[in-house]
Each structure stands twice: as structure tokens, then as C-alpha cells.
């Protein structure tokens, strides 16, 4: 797995969906994707919110490894495997970094003319800009309180 801030998804960007249904992926996000391995993004309709959970090869490999670490006979593992693998769309990027999202993804995220890319560090989400504004406002309050519980990480090489 790659390391470093240049491989993380930061910021939020709103882009138009053009008349041909193409959506430009933000340049900073394209740099964070490992496009040399797979020239695509993995998009999964969120099970909790009207948005798409997305990322590159590292994202989907980490997600699948996390699922594989569960008991192979558990209901949770089977449900996650079916939900994630069956609902994931591998969406190719064209030369200009644009994608055409399948209709079912557009409907799930309620995208109609514009889409907001929201960085989450190791992954990102695609939202209807108005829906994201409402969620982000609520989450800023929670984040304000949560940051008080953050602690500095132990320096590299420090004994535990």
C-alpha cells in the first residue's frame, strides 16, 4: 500500500455533469489514485447515505481484505461480500479524467447536473451538492467536539 499525503483525498470539489453524462474527476483526486495499476475508480452506493463511496485500487483492496478477515461463515461477512462486490461499479476514466457514472449510481446519489467530490483521506464520496451541504453542517458540530479527544501519535520508533 502506498504512503504519504500525496496519495490521500483532500478537499471538496463540485463539478458539472455535461450533456453527454461525463463528470470530471478533480485533478488532485486523479493524482491520489494509482492510475498506473487501474485507470478507473471503484464506486459503491453507500448503505447509509445518498452518496457513493469511492476510491482507487488501494481502497478496494483494503476493503476486501477487511471483509476477508471476518469469520468465513459469518452472516456479516456474507452480507458484506454480497453487498460490496455485487454493487461495486468499476468506472473507467477517459484521457481527460472524466467518468460516466452508471444510471443506478446517479439515481442512488440523486445527481442531476452537478456532483460534489468529498475527500475522506483514503477514499472519497460523491454527493449531490445540496445534500452534502446539509450533512456537512451537522457533522461540523460533531467534529468540533470530537477533535478534543484527539491525542498526538507516538513518535516513530518510540517504544510502547
What's the total number of domains in the chain? 1
Assess if residue 154 is contained within a domain: no
E strands along 5-136, which residues?
Answer: 12-16, 22-24, 40-45, 52-55, 89-92, 98-100, 114-119, 124-127
Assess if residue 117 is contained within a domain: yes
pTM of the model: 0.88
Q: How many CB atoms lie within 10 A of CB 9?
A: 24
Q: Rounded CA gap, 92 and 80, in Å?
A: 24
pLDDT at 3: 55
Assess if residue 157 is contained within a domain: no
pLDDT at 157: 73
Assess if residue 88 is contained within a domain: yes
Domain extent for 90: 5-148
Domain of 59, CATH number, reads 3.40.1550.20
Mean pLDDT by 10 residues, the chain (160 residues): 73 96 95 88 96 96 96 95 94 95 97 97 97 91 87 75
pLDDT at 1: 46
Q: Rounded CA gap, 58 and 4, in Å?
A: 13
Assess if residue 113 is contained within a domain: yes
Amino acid at each position: 500500500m502506498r504512503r504519504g499525503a500525496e496519495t490521500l483525498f483532500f478537499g471538496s470539489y463540485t463539478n458539472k455533469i455535461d450533456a453527454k453524462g461525463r463528470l470530471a474527476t478533480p485533478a488532485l483526486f486523479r493524482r491520489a489514485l494509482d492510475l498506473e495499476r487501474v485507470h478507473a475508480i471503484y464506486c459503491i452506493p453507500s448503505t447509509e447515505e445518498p452518496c457513493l463511496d469511492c476510491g482507487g485500487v488501494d481502497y478496494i483492496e483494503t476493503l476486501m481484505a477487511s471483509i476477508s478477515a471476518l469469520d468465513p461463515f459469518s452472516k456479516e461477512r456474507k452480507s458484506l461480500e454480497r453487498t460490496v462486490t455485487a454493487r461495486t461499479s468499476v468506472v473507467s476514466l477517459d484521457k481527460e479524467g472524466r467518468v460516466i457514472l452508471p444510471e443506478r449510481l446517479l439515481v442512488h446519489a440523486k445527481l442531476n447536473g452537478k456532483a460534489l467530490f468529498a475527500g475522506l483521506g483514503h477514499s472519497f464520496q460523491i454527493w449531490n451538492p445540496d445534500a452534502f451541504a446539509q450533512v456537512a453542517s451537522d457533522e461540523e458540530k460533531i467534529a468540533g467536539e470530537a477533535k478534543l479527544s484527539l491525542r498526538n501519535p507516538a513518535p516513530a520508533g518510540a517504544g510502547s
